[in-house]
Amino acid sequence: MIKLDESKLAKLKTADQLLDEEYGKEGTLSRAEFHEKAMAWYYGEILRNRRKELKMTQKQLAQKIGKEQSYIARVEKGEVDMQLSSFFRIAHALNIELTPSFN
Task: Write the pLDDT tens digit of every residue in 75-89.
Answer: 999 999 889 999 999
The pLDDT tens digits of the residues spanning 20-51 come to: 999 999 999 999 999 999 999 999 999 999 99
Q: What is the pTM (predicted TM-score) of this model?
A: 0.78
Cβ atoms of 67 and 102 within 8 Å: the answer is no
In a domain, 24, yes or no: yes
Q: Is the dihedral of CA 52, 54, 55, 58 positive or negative?
A: negative
In a domain, 56, yes or no: yes
In a domain, 33, yes or no: yes
Q: Which domain holds residue 69?
A: 15-93
In a domain, 58, yes or no: yes
Question: How many distinct structural domains can be found in the chain?
Answer: 1
Report how far residue 4's alpha carbon sits from residue 26's, in angstroms, rounded to the nearest whole number. Answer: 31
In a domain, 99, yes or no: no
In a domain, 71, yes or no: yes
Report how far residue 56's alpha carbon sits from residue 34's, in angstroms, rounded to the nearest whole number. Answer: 30
In a domain, 9, yes or no: no
In a domain, 103, yes or no: no
Q: Which residues of 3-31 are buried (b: 16+ CB within 10 A; e: fewer)?
A: eeeeeeeeeeeeeeeebeeebeeeeeeeb
CATH number at residue 72: 1.10.260.40
